[in-house]
Amino acid sequence: MPDRYAVIGHPIAHSKSPLIHGLFAQAAGQDMVYEAIDGGAGADGFARALAAFRAAGGRGLNVTLPFKLAALQAADAASDDARLAGAANALRFDGGRIEARNFDGIGLVRDIEVNLRRPLQGQAVLVLGAGGATRGALLPLARAGAARIVVANRTADKAAALAAELAPHAGACALNGGGFDALQGAFDVVINATSASLSGAAPPVPASAFAPGALAYDMVYGKGLTPFLRAAQQAGAAQVADGVGMLVEQAAEAFAWWRGVRPDTRAALARLTVPLA
């Protein structure tokens, strides 16, 4: 009987995870099924769905909005990345225990360094926004060797507080935060971790923030050339990318954690990538 896995969120009908993991299972020769579960509009719904899935023999879950915090709280053990991010996006059921991980930042770094061929060692990185997506990305970016990371947010105090909280864990990377209006200098990599692109808007980042040859990366995917990416091109960014690679690569990390084999991501990337035009 195939092993059971799923993604849980609300809403969930839009999720590409069943497609991605289906492609992974086929490529890796794994006997498994993967479904989407709508956990409803509340933590109680998540708890019920989690219990039902485990009782039915489920082996692991991907977790998306709005349940990443609830997933971490439900776990008996969590990785440092999940604990410091304050959220989990993958669960594994080991006997009677629930283990939690957060692979979002790891997927982002792998997409940038492997798929986009942009080493982060010694780079200056600007991350726009101070929400959960940024929280999950900062330490993996620092571990990849970024020399400096600045978090910029409309509410300067929120960015500064997030940077101050995580700076002790960032190693040699200088991690700071503040408001958009206080941005100074140019950055090799500029990452939009806000939700602005979902509404057709762009965060107020100045053109001077993009260094010559910069990479502009929008975590939103499937929207084509978003206002942020268009503004980056106009400011002279040499390379633009959306978040489809991050989506696929974090899924591959979860798959490898569950199954013990890392899948080839090329088929999923080719299937989901849309032209940035």
**What burial letters (b/e) apply to 137-160, b meaning 16+ CB within 10 Å?**
bbbbbbbbbbebbbbbbeebebbb
pLDDT tier, 198 (very low <50, low <70, confident <90, very high otherwise): confident
The strand pairing partners of 61, in sequence order, are: 6, 91
Report whether pLDDT(39) > 80: yes
The predicted pLDDT at position 277 comes to 76
**Tens of pLDDT, residues 102-125:** 999 999 999 999 999 999 999 999
Query: How many Å apart are CA 6 and CA 33, to the nearest integer?
Result: 8
Identical fold, 3-102+245-272 and 105-242? yes
How much is the average pLDDT of 245-270?
97
Sorted by where each begins, the domain ranges of the chain are: 3-102+245-272, 105-242
pTM value surpassing 0.85 = yes
Q: Show the tokens assigned to 223.
A: 């929207």
**Distance between CA 189 and CA 144 in Å, rounded?**
13
Place of tokens 């991350």: 127
Residue bearing the bigger pLDDT, 277 or 239: 239
Mean pLDDT across the chain: 96
Q: Is 273's pLDDT higher than 80?
A: yes
Q: How far is CA 149 from the centre of its chain?
A: 17
Cβ atoms within 10 A of the Cβ of 207, count?
12
How far, in Å, CA of 203 to CA of 235, rounded? 14
**Which of 16, 68, 158, 223 is an active site residue?**
68
Which residue matches tokens 């690569």? 249
Mean pLDDT computed over 16-39? 96
> Residue written as tokens 């084509």?
224
CATH node for 105-242: 3.40.50.720
Q: What percent of the chain has pLDDT over 70?
A: 100
Q: Which two tokens stand for residue 242?
A: 């959306």
In this prediction, residue 246 carries a pLDDT of 98
Specify whether the CB–CB gap between 182 and 206 falls below 8 A: no
User: Is 263's pLDDT higher than 80?
Assistant: yes
What's the pLDDT at 224? 93
Superfamily assignment of 3-102+245-272 in CATH?
Leucine Dehydrogenase, chain A, domain 1 (3.40.50.10860)
Using pLDDT thresholds of 50, 70 and 90, give the confidence band for residue 3.
very high
Active-site residue 16, yes or no?
no
Q: Reply yes or no on whether the pLDDT at 42 is more than 80.
A: no
How many CA atoms lie within 13 Å of 191's alpha carbon, on the beta-carbon side? 28
Rounded (5°) CA angle 236-239-242: 120
Give the pLDDT score at 95. 86
pLDDT tens profile 44-89: 899 999 999 999 999 999 999 999 999 999 999 999 999 999 999 9
Cα 1 from Cα 39, distance rounded (Å): 25
pLDDT for the residue numbered 104: 95
What pLDDT is attached to residue 124? 98
Cα distance between residue 235 and residue 20, in whole Å: 34
pLDDT, tens digit (0-9, with 9 covering 90-100), for 155-181: 999 999 999 999 999 999 999 999 999
